[in-house]
Amino acid sequence: MVLKVKPIRGTHDLLPQDMRLHRHVENIALTLSQRFGFLEIATPIIEATEVFQRSLGNTSDIVTKEMYTFETKGGEVVTLRPEGTAGIARALVSNGLAQHVPLKFFYRGPMFRHERPQKGRHRQFQQVGIELLGIDLPAADVEVIALGHELLSALGLKPIVKLELNSLGDAESRQNYRDVLVDYFLKHVSDLSEESRNRLDRNPLRILDSKDPNDREIISKAPAYSDYLTEESIKFFEIVKQGLNNLEIDFELNPRLVRGLDYYCHTAFEFTTEALGAQGTVLAGGRYDGLVAQMGGPQIAGVGWAAGVERLSMLLTELPESQRPIALIPVSDEFVMLVAKLAHELRLAGYFVEMDYKGSLKKRLKHANKINASFAVIIGEDEARDQAAIIRDLDTGQQFRVSFSDLTENLQSKGVIIS
pLDDT band at 386 (very low <50, low <70, confident <90, very high): very high
Q: Quick one: pLDDT at residue 417?
A: 66
In the predicted model, what is the mean pLDDT of the chain? Answer: 89
141: Cα within 13 Å, side-chain hemisphere: 29
Quick one: average pLDDT of 356-366?
A: 87
Percent over 90 (pLDDT), the chain: 61
Asked which of 56-70, 139-153, 330-344 is least confident by mean pLDDT, the reply is 56-70
Who wins on pLDDT, 88 or 413? Answer: 88
Q: Quick one: pLDDT at residue 38?
A: 98
Q: Quick one: pLDDT at residue 7?
A: 86
Q: Quick one: pLDDT at residue 259?
A: 76
Count of residues for the chain? 419
User: Residue 143: is its pLDDT beyond 60?
Assistant: yes
The residues, any chain, with a CB within 8 Å of residue 179's CB and separated by 6 or more, are none
User: Residue 59: is its pLDDT beyond 70?
Assistant: no
User: Residue 130: is its pLDDT beyond 80?
Assistant: yes
3-state DSSP call for residue 326?
strand
- For the chain, percent helix, then strand, then coil, each to nearest 5? 45, 20, 35
Asked which of 125-139, 187-201, 330-344 is least confident by mean pLDDT, the reply is 187-201
pTM: 0.87
Which helix (H) or strand (E) is 233 found in, with range?
helix 231-246
Strands of the sheet containing 326-330, edge to edge, are 353-355, 326-330, 375-379, 388-393, 399-403
How many angstroms from the chain centroid is the CA of residue 244?
23
For residue range 173-190, what is the model confidence (pLDDT) as tens digits?
A: 988 998 999 999 999 988
For residue range 250-263, what is the model confidence (pLDDT) as tens digits?
A: 999 998 888 767 67
The highest-confidence range among 52-66, 151-165, 207-221, 270-284, by mean pLDDT, is 151-165
Asked which of 64-68, 327-331, 401-405 is least confident by mean pLDDT, the reply is 64-68
Domains of the chain: 16-170+230-315 (3.30.930.10), 326-413 (3.40.50.800)
Quick one: average pLDDT of 337-354?
A: 92
